[in-house]
């Protein structure tokens, strides 16, 4: 059923990963050049992969186990993205073209992970409810 709370959570993740990356910059280089996710192909691919997994998970509502597994996979993808950001910030701090100002988009994977965890919790609750009803039959 599409009218469940996990659909809202997954839609928020899809909007964050697929839309807000074009609005907020990742960081600003010392020359006042803003770097967006579309400028870095790996970061752009990971964000779009996260948005795609969220959309696939929304329309996979009939198979809750698969939906739960896709949510976990999406959390892992966002953790990889977050790790890439941390590595990039820590590695380029001493160079000439250092990251002088971090953007809001660096925190988007954290927000996505929170909403994915809430969605997985709701999916698990639905699965437990269906299992308890099947036991009564």
Q: Token pair 């400028």 is at which residue?
A: 39
Residue 34, strand partner residues: 28
How far apart CA 23 and CA 132 sit, in angstroms, is 44
Length of the chain counted residue by residue: 137
pLDDT of residue 71: 94
Per-residue pLDDT of the chain in tens (137 residues, 90 and over written 9): 567 899 999 999 999 999 988 888 887 777 777 778 888 899 999 999 999 999 999 999 889 899 999 999 999 999 999 998 888 877 765 555 554 677 788 899 999 999 999 999 999 998 888 888 877 66
pLDDT of residue 98: 52
Q: Side-chain half-sphere of 9: how many Cα atoms within 13 Å?
A: 22
pLDDT of residue 86: 86
* Residue 63 backbone phi and psi in degrees, to 5: -115, 90
pLDDT of residue 101: 72
């Amino acid at each position: 059923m599409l009218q469940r709370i996990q659909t809202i959570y997954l839609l928020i993740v899809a909007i964050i990963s697929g839309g807000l990356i074009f609005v907020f910059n990742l960081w600003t280089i010392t020359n006042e050049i803003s770097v967006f996710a579309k400028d870095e192909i790996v970061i752009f691919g990971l964000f779009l992969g996260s948005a795609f997994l969220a959309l696939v998970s929304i329309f996979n509502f009939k198979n809750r186990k698969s939906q739960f597994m896709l949510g976990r996979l999406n959390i892992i993808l966002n953790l990889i993205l977050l790790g890439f950001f941390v590595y990039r910030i820590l590695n380029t701090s001493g160079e000439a073209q250092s990251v002088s100002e971090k953007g809001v988009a660096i925190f988007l994977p954290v927000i996505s992970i929170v909403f994915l965890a809430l969605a997985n919790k709701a999916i698990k609750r639905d699965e437990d409810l269906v299992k308890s009803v099947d036991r009564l039959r």
